[in-house]
Amino acid sequence: MLGVSVLVAVVLVAATSLRLYAEGPDWGLQLAQAPDGGVVALAVRGHGVAWEQHVRPGDRVLSVDALDAHNLIGQQVGRVSQIVVSDANGAPRTAQPPELTDALKLWFAGVAVLFALLGAVVYRWAPDARLGQIFLVFGSTTALALGSIAGATRGYAPATFVAATSATAASAAFTTVFVWFPRPLRGAHWLTTGLAAMTTCLAIPLVFIYSSGVGTPPLLETSLNVWMGGNLVVGTLLLAWRAVRPANRFLVAPLALGVAVGIFPLALLNALPQALGRPPVMWAESASVSVAAIPLAFAYAILRHRVFALDAYLRRFILRVCAALAIGTIFVPTWFLLHLIGIGDSLALMAGGVIVALAAPTIIDATQRVLEAWFYPSLGRARAGLLTDGMARPSSIASAFAVRSREYVPTRWAALLVCANVTAVDGPCWTVLGCDGDVPTGYARPDWPVALSSLADDVPGTTVLHIECSPSMWAAVCVGPRLDGTPPGGVDLETIRMLGRIVLPSVEAALLREQTQAEDRFRRGLFVLSHELAAVGPVSDVLRVTAQHAAALLRADAATVLRRETEDRQAYVPLDNMPELPSHDDVDTVVRLDLAAREEQNAGSRSGHVSYANSPDRHCVLICWLGEPVALEALLVLVRASPFVDEDARRAVEIADHAAGALRRAYTSRERKVTFLRHEGLAT
């Protein structure tokens, strides 16, 4: 209710400001006759048009709207368009109030309503109540400052007072928003208290100044400009600092761009020059135009990056608005056509209403499909029935499920996890297939197996729903609290569980299809490898071909073959013309795995022995030992960003089996050639 009240207040202030502008300027100037017979300014109200045009008591006034100033002696200057005064040197100077075009006035009013609407929406549905209150203060004060610009330029005291106090509070609220968003800084409570106290100290004198009709003292004027410009610059820098952090980059970067575009003219071209005692490079009326970039940036971030976790409500709101517009667009032409063919107005209205009512379900469904195809493609695929499409990927099905579950139950986030190892469901064997919303960092890397218990413990407010899909696969749905911060209720959880039971057969079928396709590709690649190994002769060529095909078959980013070339077998040297490992950490991993395998080795060959190490912070490394005996063996090393699993190790063993036969043949061929050359040498 408070957000709606603020929105109504902003609309009323903007409408009143536009009406005051239309009534003409309020000069706040009373004329009197000087002892020498001339006309001077007897009283000048602070912040009226005359005051803002640097007319002060005692200045000579020559004419008012081309009339001799003597005609207005002892009177207030009315709604005139200009006056002519003489400066200190006696030269005439024309004073005129600033003019705003109709488009600019409507622009200010529209942006003010947009700020108020955005503040009310965030206040109503933001999960963090404190952040919602701060954003409501920021949106409402900025909206009041923009909405009162038209009346303030005409010199009306109420509009000028609202503009000054609102701008002072809005600049401090701007900094406060980014003290708390996206996560509170250390000492955020104290910073907020300090900003509020300083704003109050600067705003209280304005009440007495505007009520008494005097001008703002220079010291206070400078302090207000420094306060506003400093807050805008500090808030922008704080947002930029948050934007460069990896954890917030994609979330905050659009806001940083929009805020920079909106704040730069107002802070650096208007407030700071006045704070330094210089005339502004751009007047506030012009500099404020770019402020519209701020609510637009927030709206984009809410739509695209789910800022404030409002996307579920916003998705529903946009759908209803677009459906209403579509129905109205159909009704008007229908009524017009019925009217053209001679049907009376009343009957045409009734017939058009009946036709549109019958077509409304189809119109709403079509609007929903178009809207979701543009903005929410995963949800559009889910609604179109593509969850069971034979070509859908498991990740797209899971993401569509998460989106739809958040549409039915507006939670902050939702994720679908699966586990193929039903004998160790408590271990790190769960994979995040798809997610939606403000997902915690623990769910951010879907390729990495995780332990479900640790995810539930590390993220407060997580609710885990176990769903048994089949004897060979388990599934779990993890959801966060609702948008208002409360945990999901029994009906909410049953809704999500029912939706999961519907979609899980499609997920399992898609996973089996992907596994079958991957196995088929591997078999085809293994067949090609065996043919190429049969065609090569030297040992080095066998190892090189094996490495190249292993990288392709196991989706490795890099592959190489290492040999222990020194006497103590501790130096790992790449085979000729084979690439180096990407980093020293990868070499350390190879050494660790090799030494651990040597401690476990038995007499004979270790060809086909596979070890791998996965690290979230650097490359994942898999080592497969090739060749026999141990003195001749080489290390096939594969490196990639995604983790290796047991299935990769099994396939690496098969690759090693094919390579072992080719290596034996190459070694035998080389020994025969050496023996033949030795006998040829003895014969000669």
pTM: 0.56
**Per-residue b or e along 524-559, where b marks 16 or more CB atoms closer than 10 Å to that residue's CB:** ebbeebbebbeebeebbebbbbbbebbbebbebebb
From 1-10, 37-46, 478-487, 641-650, the region with the lowest mean pLDDT: 478-487
Helix (H, G, I), strand (E, B) or coil at 445: coil
Please write the tens of the pLDDT for every residue from 161-189.
Answer: 988 899 899 999 999 988 888 778 888 88
Concatenate the DSSP letters of all residues of 75-108 into one string.
SB--S-S-EEEE-TTS-EEEE------HHHHHHH
Give CA torsion, residues 599, 602, 604, 606, to 10 deg.
-60
- Cα–Cα separations (whole angstroms), residue 204 to 7, 155, 186, 201, 643: 25, 21, 29, 6, 62
- Mean pLDDT for 528-538 is 83
Distance CA 405, CA 495 (A): 8
Would you state the structure tokens that stand for residue 416, as one six-digit string?
A: 């679908």
Label residue 287 by pLDDT band (50, 70, 90). Answer: low
Distance CA 200, CA 202 (A): 5
- Mean pLDDT for 39-68 is 83
More confident residue, 212 or 486: 212
Q: Taking 80 as the threshold, does the pLDDT of residue 248 lie above it?
A: no
Label residue 285 by pLDDT band (50, 70, 90). Answer: low
Check if CATH label 3.30.450.40 holds for domain 391-515. Answer: yes
Distance CA 221, CA 234 (A): 20
Please write the tens of the pLDDT for every residue from 124-135.
Answer: 877 677 888 898
Label residue 427 by pLDDT band (50, 70, 90). Answer: low
Interhelix angle 102-125/2-23, rounded to 10 degrees, is 170
Contact predicate 559/550, CB 8 Å: yes
The pLDDT value given to residue 385? 46
Please write the tens of the pLDDT for every residue from 188-211.
Answer: 889 999 999 999 998 898 888 888
Q: Taking 80 as the threshold, does the pLDDT of residue 547 lie above it?
A: yes
Peptide bond into 182 cis (omega under 30): yes
The pLDDT value given to residue 443? 63
- Mean pLDDT for 136-148 is 91
- Mean pLDDT for 337-348 is 78
* Amino acid found at 133: Q
Second CATH level (architecture) for the domain 536-673:
2-Layer Sandwich (3.30)
Point out which residues pair with 60 in neighbouring strands: 40
Q: CA-based Rg of the chain, rounded to a whole angstrom?
A: 37
Concatenate the DSSP letters of all residues of 515-550 into one string.
HHHHHHHHHHHHHHHHHHHHH--SHHHHHHHHHHHH
Label residue 140 by pLDDT band (50, 70, 90). Answer: very high
Second CATH level (architecture) for the domain 102-309:
Up-down Bundle (1.20)
Contact predicate 661/668, CB 8 Å: no
Distance CA 176, CA 196 (A): 9
Would you state the structure tokens that stand for residue 345, as one six-digit string?
A: 């107005």
The pLDDT value given to residue 198? 92
Please write the tens of the pLDDT for every residue from 548-581.
Answer: 888 888 888 888 887 766 545 556 667 666 777 7
Domain definitions of the chain by residue range: 25-95, 102-309, 312-375, 391-515, 536-673
Contact predicate 412/484, CB 8 Å: no
Would you state the structure tokens that stand for residue 5, as one six-digit string?
A: 């009240």
Q: How is the beta sheet containing 413-419 ordered, strand by strand?
A: 431-437, 413-419, 473-479, 463-470
The pLDDT value given to residue 683? 55
Distance CA 117, CA 302 (A): 14
Label residue 44 by pLDDT band (50, 70, 90). Answer: confident
Please write the tens of the pLDDT for every residue from 579-638.
Answer: 777 666 667 777 767 666 655 554 444 556 788 787 777 778 888 877 664 445 677 888
Q: What does residue 32 show for φ and ψ, rounded to 5 degrees? A: -145, 165
Label residue 283 by pLDDT band (50, 70, 90). Answer: low
More confident residue, 592 or 360: 360
- Of 65-69, 375-379, 548-552, 625-629, which one has max mean pLDDT? 548-552
Percent of the chain exceeding pLDDT 70 equals 78
Nearest partner of 551 among 632, 621, 447, judged by Cα: 621
Label residue 12 by pLDDT band (50, 70, 90). Answer: very high
- Of 66-80, 387-401, 419-433, which one has max mean pLDDT? 66-80
Sequence-ordered strand ranges (E) for 329-484: 413-419, 431-437, 463-470, 473-479
Helix (H, G, I), strand (E, B) or coil at 561: strand
Helix (H, G, I), strand (E, B) or coil at 623: strand
CA 550, 555, 559 angle in degrees (round to 5)? Answer: 50
Look up the CATH number of domain 25-95. Answer: 2.30.42.10
Domains 25-95 and 391-515 share a fold: no
Label residue 98 by pLDDT band (50, 70, 90). Answer: confident
- Of 19-33, 65-79, 233-247, 475-489, which one has max mean pLDDT? 19-33
CA 650, 446, 183 angle in degrees (round to 5)? Answer: 150
The pLDDT value given to residue 630? 47
- DSSP-derived letter for residue 214 is P
Reading phi first (left if > 0) and then psi (alpha if -120 to 50, else beta), residue 58 is in left
The pLDDT value given to residue 386? 44
